Amino acid sequence: MLDFTFLAAFLLVFARISGFIAVFPLFALTGVPALLRLGLALILALIVTPVAGKGFAAPAAAGYVFALANEVLFGLATGLTAALVFYALRMAGQLMGIQIGFAVAELLDPAGIQNNVVAEFVFLLGVIFFFSVDGHHAVIAALVRSFEMVPLTTGAVKSSVVPYVARLIGGMFSTALQLAAPVLAVMVVVDLALGLMVRMVPQINVFMLGFPLKVAAGLLILAGLLPVLGVVLRQLFDRMVADILVLVRGLA
């Protein structure tokens, strides 16, 4: 016999989890099939519902629809919070790529796809490191814990969390700039050196000389930063989980 209370709780759990998966970059990548994301959300919801649905009493029809929409918004908010670290990585890579000179590759791409090579590299490097330190386990654990901190139908997306989310978004821009700062600084020095060379030897073709020089210098600095980047990424992922839990408390 079908347990309608369990089904009602399952749909609410599924709504929160699917909202999270919809915006979290690792699941929202274009290469990840929608069916796989749907299956992951269903499996997680089936696992979590027996715990999250304890003591659950289904509200009336109108209240249930509102609760369903609220759970989707809850999942979207927590997913966006978790995604900010990866947005910062991609933005830092964009800044590096533009200064190094890889923006030209976007203009000359015959497929017409605007992909910054350095941005993709930094983003995928972050994804690999995220899985290597079991970041996906920590994020899923935080998502499951959200059902303990904010039981079904009790949470609400409040205006009081807007300043906190705005501060997190501002921190994303700051983090991206800090990650890209070493490469940007070296590129400024290279540009100054090229400018002095042109003043001293006007016959030099600065474009032919400058492009390979900037690419070589930028890639060397980026390679030298990889060991440090691992430490920074670990701190960012730890802070990401903490930010999710702080947001969940604000939504309680």
The pLDDT tens digits for 157-172 are 667 777 888 888 888 8
Query: Largest Cα–Cα distance in the chain?
Result: 87
Q: How far is CA 118 from the centre of its chain?
A: 17
- Please compute the mean of the pLDDT values over residues 183-204 and round it to a whole number: 83
Helix axes of 117-132 and 206-251: crossing angle, nearest 10 degrees: 40
What's 32's DSSP letter?
S
Supply 54's token pair. 């304890």
Q: Token pair of 221, please?
A: 């600095």
pLDDT band at 1 (very low <50, low <70, confident <90, very high): very low
135-152 pLDDT tens trace: 888 888 888 888 888 777
Return d(Cα 37, Cα 31) in angstroms, integer. 11
Q: Which amino acid is at 199?
A: R
Write the pLDDT tens digit of every residue in 21-80: 888 887 766 567 778 888 888 888 888 888 877 776 767 777 778 888 888 888 888 888
Residue 106 pLDDT: 58
What average pLDDT score do residues 99-115 get?
61
Domain count, the chain: 1
Nearest to 52 by CA among 22, 19, 10, 2: 10
Domain that holds residue 85: 4-251
Q: Is the pLDDT of residue 223 over 70?
A: yes
Predicted pLDDT of residue 105: 58
Phi-psi region of 56 (alpha: psi -120 to 50; beta: other; left: phi over 0): beta
141 closest CA partner among 88, 82, 56: 82
Mean per-residue pLDDT over the chain, rounded: 81
**What is the model's pTM?**
0.82
222: tokens are: 């980026």
Angle at 133 between CA 77 and CA 40, to 5 degrees: 50
Dist. CA 27–CA 12, nearest whole Å: 20
Q: Average the pLDDT over each of 111-115, 149-153, 188-192, 240-244 and give the range with the smallest value.
A: 111-115
Cα torsion 125, 128, 130, 132: sign: negative
H or E, element range at 1 = none
Q: Write out the two tokens for 117.
A: 């090579």
